[in-house]
Structure 1
Amino acid sequence: MLTIHAADELRYGWDDDTEPVKDGAVAVEGDRAVWSGTLTEVQERFPGARVRRWPGVIGPALLHLGPLPDAPTPRERVHEVLKRGATAVLEEYADTPELQ
């Protein structure tokens, strides 16, 4: 089912000079983003799609690219990554049984 996720602002990157899209939206089907733009543009392209509105900003997920930081337990190692803003970890760094 295609869903449009909308927020006050849509960002295509966090560190670039790209201007954010005010009243932005992303059309998502399954595990793929299929279209983005203003909410009006996305709704015109996908009329009748379900719309979910979120407070704040929609933007790309941050990926933790290195080994997990040291911490007393596996859970705390993952929590440390999440506190830094990452939403995903490379599989090669999370393939031990205690992290799965």
Structure 2
Amino acid sequence: MKISTLLKWVTGGCEAFLAIPIAGGAFIFSNAWFPLLFMFIFHLITLVVSAKEKRSYAGSILGMITSAIGAIPIIGWIMHTITAIVLLIDAGRSTRLDNKA
């Protein structure tokens, strides 16, 4: 498994956690929005690694946008959900490509 694939699984899982309406919101609020900054940096790292491995990085760009506007309660929840879905689908496709090679 390539590093970019592993990073997509991890970032997708983190986004899925943040998309849980009460738990994700409480986690973000209780940590003074630091998880959004952390996720922005984590998505940026995933983007760089994915680009270096010549893999899809659309989910990472979407994740960075989500982290930037994630402080808006309803919009943030919707964006975290969409980003989690996109990243997890992309991770699944990457895993399938890794297994074929």
The verdict on a shared fold, with TM-score over 0.5 as the criterion, is no
Q: Report the structure, 1 or 2, having the larger strand content.
A: 1
From the two aligned structures, give the one with the greater helix fraction. Answer: 2
Please report the TM-score for the alignment, with normalisation by the length of structure 1. Answer: 0.21
Task: Point out the structure with max Rg over C-alpha.
Answer: 1
TM-score by length of 2: 0.21
